[in-house]
Amino acid sequence: MVTKHLLIEQCRMNESIQIAAKLLRKGEVVAIPTETVYGLGADATNERAVEKIFQAKGRPSDNPLIVHIATKKALFELVMDSPDYLEDLIDHFSPGPITYVLKSNGKIASNVTAGLSTLGVRIPSNEIALELLRQVKLPIAAPSANLSGKPSPTTAQHVLEDMHGKIAAVLDGGSSEVGVESTVVDCTGEIPTILRLGKITAEDINQVVGAVQIVDTNNKKIKKPKSPGMKYKHYAPDVPLILVKDSSKLKMMIEQRENKGERVGVLVSLTLPETIRAKKVKSLGGKEDEMAINLYNLLRSFKPKEVDIIICEAPLPKGIGTAILDRLERAATKIID
C-alpha cells in the first residue's frame, strides 16, 4: 500500500480534505491532525474499518478507541444516560482537548469500545479535523497515529515514520498545537472522574462543575480500561529512558552511565542545558505548554545509533506539567525518586 501524503495548503486544502473524507467513507484508515496529537482515523460505525486501526498500530484489542465528532448534537446521538453536569463541561471545554466517557447507545462498532458499555467521545478544536468531520458526516474513531507503545505523533512526518505503507493517507495539518493527548473524563458517575491527564486539569474542571476526582492511573489491577493510557505501556522511545525526579541526582546519574562507556542522551526540563556535560543534551523548554509541544518530538529524536540510554529530568507537576510527567513515567524503563 502506498500512503498518500495529503498536504494542507491554501490552494488545495478543500481538495485534500475531500480525498481524506472519501477514503474514510470507503472504510480506509487516514491519519488526521488534531490539536492534541495526530489520530489514526476510521469510520467508527464500520467494524472492519476499525479493525484496520488495530492492525496498523499493533494495538491490543481490549484497549478502547476515542471517537471524534464535530458537534454537541452528534455527541448526544451516540450516548445515553448523560449526567446533568455534562452540558456544562461541553459548553466550557469543547471543542477542545477533552474526551467524555459515557454510556454508549450501541451505534458505534463494538471493537471501538473493546466490548465495554461505555464510549469515549470528543469534539476536537483543530479546524482541519472539524472540517473533515463535517464533510465525512461520520463519527471517526482515532487513537494516536503511532505504533502501539511508541511516542505519539505531533507531525505528519512522525506518522509516516510509523505508518507508511500501512494506511491509506496522512492529512498533513502541520504541528499539533497542544502536544499531548486529551484529558479523559469518566462522566458515568455522580462526580466526573479523570481517567487520563491532559491539558485540561482537575482544577479547570473543578471550577466549572464544583467537584472532580482522579483515578489512580498507575493501578496495575486494571483489567478493562475505560480509556486509552490506563493499562498498557505507552510513549516509549527507541532507547531505554531513566526518569530522574530528584534533580540533584541528575549529574551523578549521567556520570555513572558515561563511566560505564554508555552513550548518554539527556533531556532536561528545569536544569539549564549548558550546565550538563553530556554530548547529547536537549531541553523540553521553559514553560509547561512549550514542554508539551516538544515532548514527543524530542523522545523520537533520540536514536539507537546515537545514544544507548536517555536520562530525563522530571518536570514539575503543575498545570499541563502533570500530564507531561504522567507520560514520562509511562515511557520510563526506570524511575529514580
Question: DSSP string spanning 128-142?
Answer: HHHHHHHHH-S-EE-
Better pLDDT: 265 or 233: 265
Same domain? For 71 and 179 the reply is yes
Domain that holds residue 287: 241-336
pLDDT value for 231: 54
| pTM of the predicted structure, to 2 decimals | 0.94
Q: 144, 181 in Cβ contact below 8 A? A: yes
> Using the 8-state DSSP alphabet, how is residue 248 labeled?
G
Whether 327 is in a domain gets the answer: yes
Query: Do 187 and 80 have their domain in common?
Result: yes
Q: Are residues 113 and 203 in the same domain?
A: yes
pLDDT value at 238 more than 90: yes
Residue 126: what pLDDT?
97
Mean pLDDT of the 253-282 span? 90
Question: Residue 222: inside a domain, yes or no?
Answer: no
Q: Please check whether residues 91 and 179 belong to one and the same domain.
A: yes
In the prediction, which pLDDT does 135 show? 96
Residues 39, 120 share a domain: yes
Q: What band does 153 get if pLDDT is binned at 50, 70 and 90?
A: very high
Residue 224 domain-assigned (yes or no): no
Q: What is the pLDDT of residue 167?
A: 98
HSE-CB at 252 with a 13 A cutoff on CA atoms is 7
CA distances from 116 to 69, 156, 165, 180 (A): 20, 31, 31, 25
Residue 228 is predicted with a pLDDT of 62
Region 258-276: what's the mean pLDDT?
Answer: 91
Provide the number of structural domains found in the chain.
2
Give the per-residue pLDDT at 225: 63
Are residue 158 and residue 286 in the same domain, yes or no? no
Could you tell me if 155 and 100 lie in one domain?
A: yes
Q: What is the pLDDT of residue 230?
A: 58
Question: Across the chain, what does the average pLDDT equal?
Answer: 93
Q: What angle do CA 55, 57, 62 make, to 5 degrees?
A: 75
* Same-domain status, 285 and 159: no
Cβ partners under 8 Å of residue 60, min gap 6: 148, 232
Contact 234, 329 (CB under 8 A): no
pLDDT, greater one: 7 or 284: 284
Give the CATH number for residue 173: 3.90.870.10
Neighbours of 326 (CB within 10 A): 20
Same domain, 144 and 258: no
* pLDDT score for 43: 98
The answer to whether position 219 is within a domain reads no
Residue 209 has pLDDT above 80, yes or no: yes
End of a domain among 173, 197, 214?
214
* 280: β partners: 265
- Residue located via cell numbers 515532548: 295
Is pLDDT at 194 greater than 90 in this prediction? yes
- Determine the length of the chain: 337
131 in any annotated domain:
yes
